């Protein structure tokens, strides 16, 4: 009876609470993959953890650290100057298309021919759809010239206007509607239903180029700001 009573008291005694396990403090940055935590030697304070991470980073090769710093610096530069890069590319792209027939006029046949052939990858360069300068064809058709020139104008406008006020992006469905004039003009001509003209190609290309720039550039601008703002209303 005494054994049974002792066993009953033992079963009714609550378990002793287990001691909470000590958690390793977290750091503001991710731990390198090569950091090992020896048994019983894990850091107990954030300062110790930061010191261990700094020691691990010092073991990285100079080439690796230079690559990381270079990538970070490049990313920060692009974040600040992305619009200048876009505008510079568009200005170069349209400018070369205009300068190519001028180069033919001055006898620079080799470079002009190389540029003309390279642009064929991005434009059909149909003579009936293109402009001529001095009797020589431009590298871009009238519609493509209008598209990229209008995008450049929109980019230059944003470069000055964004300093005064935040520019909101065009809504996607409005952008889709702005594609319709160019699509109707192009496809009806493609299937032989009608023949377009230079004025329509310029107009529809400009509408599409402006709407595309208004749709894309403000979104990139919003994403590049340190404190992101909504790109659309």
Does the residue 147 lie in any domain? yes
Distance CA 129, CA 196 (A): 9
* Average pLDDT over all residues of the chain: 82
Q: Exposed (0-12), middle (13-18) or buried (19+): which is 5, by Cβ within 10 Å? A: exposed
pLDDT at 228: 53
pLDDT at 27: 46
Does the residue 1 lie in any domain? no
Does the residue 55 lie in any domain? no
Residues 6+ apart with CB under 8 A from 23: none
Distance CA 158, CA 170 (A): 13
Q: Are 214 and 169 in contact (CB under 8 A)?
A: yes
Does the residue 160 lie in any domain? yes
Q: Are 199 and 134 in contact (CB under 8 A)?
A: no
- For the entire predicted model, the pTM comes to 0.71
Per residue in 90-133, pLDDT (tens digit) is 999 999 999 999 999 999 999 999 999 999 999 999 999 999 99
- Strand 136-141 relative to strand 130-133, pairing: antiparallel
Among 44-48, 100-104, 159-163, 176-180, name the one with the lowest average pLDDT.
44-48
Does the residue 39 lie in any domain? no
Give the model's confidence band at 28: pLDDT under 50 very low, under 70 low, under 90 confident, else very high: very low
Count how many domains the chain has: 1
Does the residue 54 lie in any domain? no
Query: Which range marks the domain in which residue 95 is found?
Result: 66-224
Does the residue 217 lie in any domain? yes
Distance CA 29, CA 49 (A): 10
Give the model's confidence band at 62: pLDDT under 50 very low, under 70 low, under 90 confident, else very high: confident
Q: Are 100 and 135 in contact (CB under 8 A)?
A: no
Give the model's confidence band at 213: pLDDT under 50 very low, under 70 low, under 90 confident, else very high: very high
Q: Are 148 and 119 in contact (CB under 8 A)?
A: no
Tokens of 157: 């406008």
Give the model's confidence band at 8: pLDDT under 50 very low, under 70 low, under 90 confident, else very high: low
> Is 24 a residue whose pLDDT tops 60?
no
Mean pLDDT in residue range 156-185: 92
Give the model's confidence band at 29: pLDDT under 50 very low, under 70 low, under 90 confident, else very high: very low
Does the residue 186 lie in any domain? yes
pLDDT > 70 in the chain, percent: 75
> Is 226 a residue whose pLDDT tops 50?
yes
């Amino acid at each position: 009876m005494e054994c049974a009573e002792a066993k009953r008291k033992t079963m009714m005694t609550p378990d002793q609470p287990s001691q909470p396990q000590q958690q390793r403090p977290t750091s503001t940055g991710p731990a390198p993959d090569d950091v090992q935590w020896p048994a019983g030697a894990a850091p107990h304070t954030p300062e110790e953890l930061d010191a261990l991470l700094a020691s691990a980073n010092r073991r990285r090769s100079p080439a690796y650290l230079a690559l990381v710093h270079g990538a970070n610096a490049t990313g920060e530069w692009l974040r600040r100057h992305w619009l200048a890069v876009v505008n510079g590319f568009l200005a170069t792209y349209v400018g070369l298309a205009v300068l190519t027939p001028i180069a033919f006029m001055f006898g620079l046949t080799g470079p002009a021919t190389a540029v003309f052939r390279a642009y064929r990858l991005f434009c059909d360069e149909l003579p009936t759809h293109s402009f001529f300068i001095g009797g020589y064809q431009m590298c871009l058709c009238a519609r493509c010239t209008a598209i990229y020139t209008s995008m450049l104008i929109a980019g230059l406008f944003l470069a000055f206007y964004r300093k005064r006020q935040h520019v909101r992006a065009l809504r996607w469905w409005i952008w889709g509607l702005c594609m319709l004039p160019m699509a109707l003009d192009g496809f009806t001509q493609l299937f032989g239903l009608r023949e377009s003209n230079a004025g329509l190609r310029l107009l529809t290309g400009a509408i599409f180029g402006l709407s595309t720039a208004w749709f894309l550039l403000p979104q990139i601008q919003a994403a590049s700001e340190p404190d992101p703002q909504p790109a659309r209303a």
